[in-house]
Chain A
Amino acid sequence: MQRSNIFDYKNYLYFKIAVVIILVAFAAYLIFEPAVGHYGGSFLGYGLGTISALMVLWMAWYGVRKRRYRSSGSTQGWLSAHIYLGTAMTALVTLHSGFHYGMNIHTLAYGLLLVVVASGFFGNYTYMIYPRQMSENMGEDSLDSLLMRIAEADKLARQIALVMPDDINNTVSRACRETSIGLGLIDQLRGYQPNCPSAQAVDDLTAMANELNPEQRKLHRELYTIMVRRLSLVKRARQDLMYRARLGIWLYLHVPFTIALLVAMTAHIVAVFIYW
Chain B
Amino acid sequence: MRKHYNIIIIGAGPSGLSAATRAAEQSADYLLLEAASAPANTIRHYQRRKLVMAEPRALPLRSPLPFSASLRENVLETWEKIIADYKINIRYNTKVSGISRTAKHLEIQLEDGESFTADNVILAIGVQGNLRKLEIPGGDVPEVQYHLDDPDAYQNETIVVVGGGDTGVENALALTGRNQVMILNRAEDFSNLKDSNLNHLTEARQKGAIDWLLQTKPQSIERNSSGDFPITLFASTPNGIERIPCHRIIARLGALPSRPVLENFGVAFPTADAGALPMLSASYESNVPGLYIIGALAGYPLIKQGINQGYEVIEHILGNPVESADNELLREKFSSFCDDRGVDDVLVKIQKNVPLLAMLSTLQLRELVLESNIVLSEPGDYIFRRNDYSTTFFFIVEGELDVLIDDDEHPDDHLKTGEFFGEMALVSGRRRPGTVRARTKCVLIETPRRLMQKLINSVQSMRRILNEVAIKSVVQICIGLSLDEEELNDVASHAILKSFEAGEELFHEGDDADGLYLIQSGSVTVSRMIAGREVVLFYVAAGNYVGEMSLVSGEPRYATVRAAVATDAVMIKADRMREIIARNPEIRGALDTRYLQHLQDQEKREQLENAPSGGGSLTSQSTQSNLISFLIQQGVGEATDVLLIDESLCVRCNLCEDACANTHGGASRLDRDTGPIFANIRVPTSCRHCEHPHCMKDCPPDAIHRAPHGEVYIDDSCIGCGNCQQNCPYDVIQMAVIHEQPERSLWQMLLGIQPKIPDDTEGTKVAVKCDMCKDIKEGPVCVRACPVGAALRVNPEGLLGYASGTSGEVNLIGANEA
The stretch of A69-77, A91-99, A112-120, A180-188 in contact with B is A69-77
A244 to B648, CA, bound (A): 14
Q: Are A78 and B751 neighbours in the complex by a CB distance under 8 Å? A: no
Q: Are B778 and A69 neighbours in the complex by a CB distance under 8 Å? A: no
A126 to B646, CA, bound (A): 16
List the B residue with the shortest CB-CB distance to A133.
B648
Q: Are B787 and A131 neighbours in the complex by a CB distance under 8 Å? A: no
List the B residue with the shortest CB-CB distance to A144.
B673
Q: Are B787 and A79 neighbours in the complex by a CB distance under 8 Å? A: yes
- 8 A–B pairs (Cβ distance < 8 Å), ordered by A: A3-B646, A5-B788, A6-B789, A63-B749, A75-B655, A78-B787, A135-B647, A135-B650
Q: Are A75 and B648 neighbours in the complex by a CB distance under 8 Å? A: no
Q: Are B680 and A135 neighbours in the complex by a CB distance under 8 Å? A: yes
In the bound complex, residues from chain A placing their C-beta under 8 Å from that of B652 are 131, 134, 244, 247
In the bound complex, residues from chain B placing their C-beta under 8 Å from that of A74 are 783-784, 786, 789
List the B residue with the shortest CB-CB distance to A63.
B750
Q: For the complex, is B662 an interface residue (Cβ under 8 Å from A)?
A: yes
Q: Are B659 and A3 neighbours in the complex by a CB distance under 8 Å? A: no
In the bound complex, residues from chain A placing their C-beta under 8 Å from that of B682 are 135
Interface-centre pick from B652, B662, B786, B787 (highest chain A CB count, 10 A):
B787
Known: A2-B808, A75-B786. 5 other contacts (CB 8 A): A6-B787, A63-B751, A73-B778, A134-B647, A135-B677
A134 to B790, CA, bound (A): 14
Which residues of A48-74 are within 8 A (CB) of B?
60, 63-64, 66-70, 72-74
Q: For the complex, is B142 an interface residue (Cβ under 8 Å from A)?
A: no
In the bound complex, residues from chain A placing their C-beta under 8 Å from that of B744 are 67
In the bound complex, residues from chain A placing their C-beta under 8 Å from that of B777 are 72
Tell me the count of chain A residues lying within 8 A, CB to CB, of chain B: 35
| A140 touching B651 in the complex, CB below 8 Å, given contacts A67-B658, A75-B784 | no
In the bound complex, residues from chain B placing their C-beta under 8 Å from that of A5 are 649, 788-789
Which of B648, B653, B788, B802 is A135 in contact with, Cβ under 8 Å? B648
Q: Are A76 and B789 neighbours in the complex by a CB distance under 8 Å? A: yes
In the bound complex, residues from chain A placing their C-beta under 8 Å from that of B790 are 3, 131
List the A residue with the shortest CB-CB distance to B807.
A2
Q: Are A142 and B674 neighbours in the complex by a CB distance under 8 Å? A: yes
Which of A3, A67, A247 is B789 in contact with, Cβ under 8 Å? A3
Q: For the complex, is A139 an interface residue (Cβ under 8 Å from B)?
A: yes
A73 to B778, CA, bound (A): 7
Q: For the complex, is A36 an interface residue (Cβ under 8 Å from B)?
A: no
Q: Are B677 and A139 neighbours in the complex by a CB distance under 8 Å? A: yes
Which of B647, B676, B776 is A70 in contact with, Cβ under 8 Å? B776
A2 to B648, CA, bound (A): 10
Q: Are A131 and B677 neighbours in the complex by a CB distance under 8 Å? A: no
A48 to B537, CA, bound (A): 58
A69 to B682, CA, bound (A): 23
In the bound complex, residues from chain A placing their C-beta under 8 Å from that of B679 are 1
A120 to B640, CA, bound (A): 39
List the A residue with the shortest CB-CB distance to B783.
A74
Q: For the complex, is B43 an interface residue (Cβ under 8 Å from A)?
A: no
List the A residue with the shortest CB-CB distance to B778.
A72
List the A residue with the shortest CB-CB distance to B746.
A64
In the bound complex, residues from chain B placing their C-beta under 8 Å from that of A75 are 655, 784-787
In the bound complex, residues from chain B placing their C-beta under 8 Å from that of A70 are 663, 776, 781
CB of A239 to closest CB in B, whole Å: 14
A210 to B814, CA, bound (A): 69
Interface flags, B619-656, vs A, CB<8A=1, else 0: 00000000000000000000000000011111111010
Q: Are B677 and A140 neighbours in the complex by a CB distance under 8 Å? A: yes
CB of B102 to closest CB in A, whole Å: 72
Interface-centre pick from B650, B783, B789 (highest chain A CB count, 10 A):
B789
Q: For the complex, is A43 an interface residue (Cβ under 8 Å from B)?
A: no
Interface flags, A147-172, vs B, CB<8A=1, else 0: 00000000000000000000000000
In the bound complex, residues from chain B placing their C-beta under 8 Å from that of A132 are 647-648, 680
List the B residue with the shortest CB-CB distance to A243.
B652
| A69 touching B659 in the complex, CB below 8 Å, given contacts A1-B646, A135-B677, A142-B673 | yes
A60 to B648, CA, bound (A): 27
Q: Are B663 and A69 neighbours in the complex by a CB distance under 8 Å? A: yes
Q: For the complex, is B752 an interface residue (Cβ under 8 Å from A)?
A: yes
| A69 touching B662 in the complex, CB below 8 Å, given contacts A130-B651, A135-B648 | yes
What interface size band does chain B fall in? 35 or more
In the bound complex, residues from chain A placing their C-beta under 8 Å from that of B783 are 74
| A73 touching B784 in the complex, CB below 8 Å, given contacts A3-B792, A131-B650 | yes
Q: For the complex, is B354 an interface residue (Cβ under 8 Å from A)?
A: no
A135 to B672, CA, bound (A): 13
CB of B289 to closest CB in A, whole Å: 66
Q: For the complex, is B483 an interface residue (Cβ under 8 Å from A)?
A: no
CB of B327 to closest CB in A, whole Å: 47
CB of A116 to closest CB in B, whole Å: 14
In the bound complex, residues from chain B placing their C-beta under 8 Å from that of A32 are none
A255 to B663, CA, bound (A): 25
List the A residue with the shortest CB-CB distance to B777.
A72
Which residues of A218-276 are within 8 A (CB) of B?
244, 247, 255
Q: For the complex, is B681 an interface residue (Cβ under 8 Å from A)?
A: yes
A75 to B649, CA, bound (A): 14
Q: Are B788 and A79 neighbours in the complex by a CB distance under 8 Å? A: yes
List the B residue with the shortest CB-CB distance to A68.
B749
Q: For the complex, is A101 an interface residue (Cβ under 8 Å from B)?
A: no
| A64 touching B749 in the complex, CB below 8 Å, given contacts A69-B662, A69-B785 | yes
Interface flags, B774-810, vs A, CB<8A=1, else 0: 0011100101111111101000000000110000100
Q: For the complex, is A127 an interface residue (Cβ under 8 Å from B)?
A: yes
Q: For the complex, is A4 an interface residue (Cβ under 8 Å from B)?
A: yes
Q: Are B648 and A131 neighbours in the complex by a CB distance under 8 Å? A: yes
In the bound complex, residues from chain B placing their C-beta under 8 Å from that of A12 are none
Q: Are B649 and A3 neighbours in the complex by a CB distance under 8 Å? A: yes
List the B residue with the shortest CB-CB distance to A262.
B750
In the bound complex, residues from chain A placing their C-beta under 8 Å from that of B776 are 70
Q: Are A67 and B752 neighbours in the complex by a CB distance under 8 Å? A: yes
In the bound complex, residues from chain A placing their C-beta under 8 Å from that of B752 are 63, 67
List the A residue with the shortest CB-CB distance to B752.
A67
A47 to B239, CA, bound (A): 91
Q: Are B781 and A69 neighbours in the complex by a CB distance under 8 Å? A: yes
CB of B625 to closest CB in A, whole Å: 14
Q: For the complex, is A122 an interface residue (Cβ under 8 Å from B)?
A: no
List the B residue with the shortest CB-CB distance to A4.
B789
In the bound complex, residues from chain B placing their C-beta under 8 Å from that of A39 are none
Q: Are A1 and B655 neighbours in the complex by a CB distance under 8 Å? A: no
List the B residue with the shortest CB-CB distance to A247.
B651
| A131 touching B808 in the complex, CB below 8 Å, given contacts A64-B750, A74-B783 | no
List the A residue with the shortest CB-CB distance to B678.
A140
In the bound complex, residues from chain B placing their C-beta under 8 Å from that of A69 are 658-659, 662-663, 781, 784-785
A255 to B747, CA, bound (A): 12
In the bound complex, residues from chain B placing their C-beta under 8 Å from that of A76 are 786-789
Q: For the complex, is A29 an interface residue (Cβ under 8 Å from B)?
A: no
7 interchain residue pairs of minimum CB distance:
A135-B647, A69-B659, A76-B789, A132-B648, A79-B787, A67-B749, A63-B750
In the bound complex, residues from chain A placing their C-beta under 8 Å from that of B663 are 69-70
Q: Are B750 and A60 neighbours in the complex by a CB distance under 8 Å? A: yes
Q: For the complex, is A9 an interface residue (Cβ under 8 Å from B)?
A: yes
A1 to B620, CA, bound (A): 9
Which residues of B740-770 are within 8 A (CB) of A?
744, 746, 749-752
| A255 touching B808 in the complex, CB below 8 Å, given contacts A5-B789, A75-B784 | no
A4 to B808, CA, bound (A): 13
In the bound complex, residues from chain A placing their C-beta under 8 Å from that of B808 are 2
Q: Are A127 and B750 neighbours in the complex by a CB distance under 8 Å? A: no
A63 to B747, CA, bound (A): 10
In the bound complex, residues from chain B placing their C-beta under 8 Å from that of A3 are 646, 649, 789-790, 792
| A1 touching B785 in the complex, CB below 8 Å, given contacts A247-B651, A247-B652 | no
Q: Are A6 and B749 neighbours in the complex by a CB distance under 8 Å? A: no
A79 to B785, CA, bound (A): 11
Q: Are A131 and B647 neighbours in the complex by a CB distance under 8 Å? A: yes
Interface-centre pick from A4, A9, A66 (highest chain B CB count, 10 A):
A66
In the bound complex, residues from chain A placing their C-beta under 8 Å from that of B751 are 63, 255
Q: Are A6 and B788 neighbours in the complex by a CB distance under 8 Å? A: yes
